[in-house]
Amino acid sequence: MAQNLWPQGWCPFARRIDSPNFGPRPPGTAINLALIHSISLPPGIYGGNEIEHLFTNQLDWDAHPYFGQIRGAEVSAHFVIRRDGELLQFVSANDRAWHAGPSSWQGRDNCNDYSIGIELEGLEDHPFERVQYQALADLLQQAIKVYPIKQIAGHEHVAPGRKRDPGQAFDWAALQALVGWDQCCFPAGTTSV
């Protein structure tokens, strides 16, 4: 059974860090969207533990001036891929993580209900590392063995005008080449013909 590959929705090759920021998915919801984000805390600073602290409600809001802008945020994603390719998991993929906010994909609202949220450590206009693309491709290839994921989109595609990640530096064509999925699985205009 495919669910046995990820016991209770936990990927066996990710470092598990439990976030309290999650809830149940609506009953009978098919998890069919992988939603890609980018994050760095503070912006443009990589390698620290601030992302982990944010997703576990332990961030010191006074440690950096930027943190005042997000003070009190209770957010999470299912996965984070660090700059060195390390894979972290904060929420069981069977549960609803809090990553998309107000969102809609192909006429369907509330993307948190039916997506797996994957954050890449980075910024919208900074190139991502090759090892991050490989880790993302590996994660997606494993995820489709467990969940009926048929589409991949960015936060910018499900919340246009409000969000712009993973952004212009994200190489959708490189991801498509690594996963080998058809162009129709990706947002229009992001991959080559």
Q: Could you say which of 50, 86, 119, 156 is catalytic?
A: 119
Does 119 qualify as catalytic in the annotation? yes
CB 128 within 8 A of CB 139: no
Q: How many CB atoms lie within 10 A of CB 84?
A: 12
**Axis-axis angle for helices 130-143, 172-179 (nearest 10):** 50
DSSP 3-state assignment of 82?
Answer: coil
Query: Rounded to an integer, what distance in angstroms lies between the CA atom of residue 68 and that of residue 63?
Result: 9
Active site residues: 119
